[in-house]
């Protein structure tokens, strides 16, 4: 009995010992480097990247893809078995050429951070990791540390965080509060989207008349507006800011459509008042024909969708635009109705700029719920690695105003547009 149990004990000890040997061998064979395949952006002798323990650096390197990580002091990269990529056609990591005085700009709440993170990732992957433009974030409340950490880590340019002055985000004293409240109640009953929202109205007024005057924006000449939850579907391998500057463009769009009539019943009356007060601001060669089918008598509700915009800040800061905004603002429609910044910007651009100062970016493939702009033209889509579904392109559908834009301005529609109607 005693002999049998000591034999079992021996077996168990052997088994435990065997397991320990296996464990020791397998754990000691894990190398302390991650092996990466030679990639597009990897630079000679960096195919192996040292594993860094501990928290990431406070400000991540502007874009880790463009800079080989420095080996930690004392550590030596093991390059055995790897081949540096010295091919002469190896592409440079960042685009060359001059940068414009430009920035991305986003108005956002702290709670938008993760939806915005997705947008930033799209913008960086498709464009900005080659250009490193700055990004200005604006909010009517202080940005949280989390918001700043997440966004700074994703943006490859410098980030700036601005608090909106209270008087840019509040009711002007000439607004009759009771009247405004009654409108909100009525719009709520009619189930008009954002009809009962005060903050949405402040947002629309801010985007219409103030964002370009925020002190953080003053040093810039060009802006590209980005909202949470947007997507970019194609590589952008040139600089749209530079394109705008080189071609004397002031405003641009990718999607256009008809505005909900219920949100702007008196906007056009207000615009007509402005036009009669300030005829000097109405440009020769404007695009009135795109806004009105009866030479200005009534508005056809066409507007550029302003959640995407690349534009010139000096134009928005001009006397012409400010006279226009102030005139509309005094009429109270941001609060007595629910005027959106999209028709407000669009009408200004179509009346106060020449047609050819407004640019349609067919090549910037874009999504903001629920509409897609997927560039017409298969060649382009293939060359630029687009991942949008051409059948979802909104441009030539009946609720879009882009066909009208081409017709009014005499532009030639891209080949293949008829197949997407
Ligand atoms: N700071 C701040 N940003 C807002 C507020 N409401 C909307 N926004 C931002 O304004 C933009 C438009 O708002 P969004 O909800 O996308 O409106 P929609 O696209 O018209 O449905 C987005 O960039 C939002 O993050 C708000 O109350 N405060
Ligand atoms: Mg939005």
pLDDT in tens, 207-242: 999 999 999 999 999 999 999 999 999 999 999 999
227 is catalytic: no
Closest C-alpha residue for ligand 1 atom 9: 108
Ligand having the closest approach to the CA of 116: 1
pLDDT tier, 85 (very low <50, low <70, confident <90, very high otherwise): low
Binding site membership of 199 for ligand 1 (Cβ less than 6 Å): yes
For ligand 1, what atom is nearest to the CA of residue 141? 1
Q: Is 255 in the pocket of ligand 1 (CB under 6 A)?
A: no
- Which residue lies with its CA nearest to atom 25 of ligand 1? 108
The active-site residue out of 259, 309, 337, 357 is 309
217-229: string of b/e by CB count within 10 Å (b at 16+)? beebbbbbbbbbe
Residue 137 Cα to ligand 1 middle (Å): 12
Closest CA to ligand 1's atom 3: 108
Q: Where are the beta strands (DSSP E) in 72-158?
A: 102-107, 134-139
Omega before 370 within 30 of 0, i.e. cis: yes
Mean pLDDT throughout 90-97?
A: 63
User: Is 109 near ligand 1, meaning CB less than 6 Å away?
Assistant: yes
Rounded to the nearest whole angstrom, what is the distance from the C-alpha of residue 193 to the centroid of ligand 1? 13
In the block, tokens 């949008």 appear at 388
Shortest-distance ligand to the CA of residue 227: 1
User: What local confidence, expressed as pLDDT, does residue 91 receive?
Assistant: 52
Is the confidence at residue 44, as pLDDT, over 60?
no
Q: Give SS3 for 124.
A: helix
Q: What is the pTM of this model?
A: 0.81
Residues 174-212 pLDDT 10s: 999 999 999 999 999 999 999 999 999 999 999 999 999
3-class secondary structure per residue, 238-301? CCHHHHHHHCCCCEEECCEEECCHHHCCCHHHHHHHHHHHCHHHCCCCCCHHHHCCCCCCCCCC
Ligand 1 binding pocket includes 140 (Cβ within 6 Å): yes
Q: How far away, in angstroms, is 251 Cα from ligand 1 center?
A: 21
Chain centroid offset of residue 368 CA: 10
Provide the β-strand partners of residue 49: 34
Closest residue (by CA) to atom 18 of ligand 1? 307
What pLDDT shows up at residue 54? Answer: 34
pLDDT in tens, 56-67: 333 433 443 344
Distance 202 CA to ligand 2 centre (A): 14
Indicate if ligand 1 lies below 6 Å from the C-beta of 340.
no
Ligand 1 within 6 A of 101 CB?
no
Q: Is 228 in the pocket of ligand 1 (CB under 6 A)?
A: yes
pLDDT tens readout for residues 1-29: 445 566 666 777 666 666 665 555 444 43
Kindly report the protein residue whose alpha carbon is nearest to atom 23 of ligand 1.
Answer: 227
Residue (of 131, 129, 127, 134) closest to 152 by Cα position: 134
pLDDT score at 82: 73
């Amino acid at each position: 009995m005693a002999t049998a149990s000591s034999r079992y004990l021996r077996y168990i000890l052997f088994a435990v010992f065997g397991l320990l040997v296996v464990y020791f061998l397998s754990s000691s064979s894990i190398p302390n480097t991650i092996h990466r395949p030679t990639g597009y952006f990897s630079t000679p002798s960096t195919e192996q990247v040292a594993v860094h323990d501990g928290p990431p650096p406070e400000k991540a390197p502007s874009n880790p893809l463009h800079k080989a990580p420095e080996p930690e002091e004392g550590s030596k990269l093991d390059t055995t078995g790897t081949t540096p990529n010295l091919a002469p056609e190896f592409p440079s990591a960042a685009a060359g050429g001059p940068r414009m005085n430009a920035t991305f700009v986003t108005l956002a709440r702290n709670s938008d951070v993760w939806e915005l993170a997705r947008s930033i990732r799209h913008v960086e992957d498709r464009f900005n990791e080659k250009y490193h433009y700055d990004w200005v974030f604006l909010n009517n409340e202080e940005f949280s540390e989390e918001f700043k950490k997440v966004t700074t880590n994703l943006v490859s340019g410098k980030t700036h965080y601005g608090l909106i002055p209270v008087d840019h985000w509040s009711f002007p004293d000439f607004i009759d509060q009771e009247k405004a409240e009654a409108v909100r109640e009525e719009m709520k009953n009619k189930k008009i989207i954002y009809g009962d929202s005060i903050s949405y109205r402040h947002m629309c007024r801010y985007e219409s008349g103030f964002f370009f005057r925020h002190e953080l924006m003053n040093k810039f000449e060009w802006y590209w507006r980005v909202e949470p939850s947007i997507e970019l579907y194609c590589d952008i391998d040139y600089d749209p800011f530079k394109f705008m500057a080189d071609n004397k463009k002031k405003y641009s769009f990718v999607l256009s459509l008809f505005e909900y009539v219920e949100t702007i019943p008196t906007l056009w009356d207000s615009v007509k008042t402005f036009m009669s007060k300030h005829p000097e601001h109405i440009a020769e060669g404007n695009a009135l024909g795109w806004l009105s089918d009866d030479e200005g008598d009534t508005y056809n509700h066409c507007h550029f969708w302003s959640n995407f915009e690349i534009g010139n800040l000096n134009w928005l800061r001009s006397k012409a635009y400010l006279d226009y905004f102030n005139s509309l603002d005094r009429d109270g429609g941001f609060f007595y109705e629910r005027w959106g910044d999209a028709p407000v910007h669009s009408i200004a651009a179509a009346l106060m700029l020449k047609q050819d100062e407004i640019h349609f970016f067919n090549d910037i493939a874009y999504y903001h719920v629920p509409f897609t702009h997927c560039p017409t033209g298969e060649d382009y889509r293939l060359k630029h690695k687009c991942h949008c579904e051409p059948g979802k392109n909104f441009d030539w559908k009946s609720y879009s105003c882009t066909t009208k834009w081409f017709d009014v301005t005499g532009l030639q529609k891209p080949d293949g547009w008829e197949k997407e109607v």
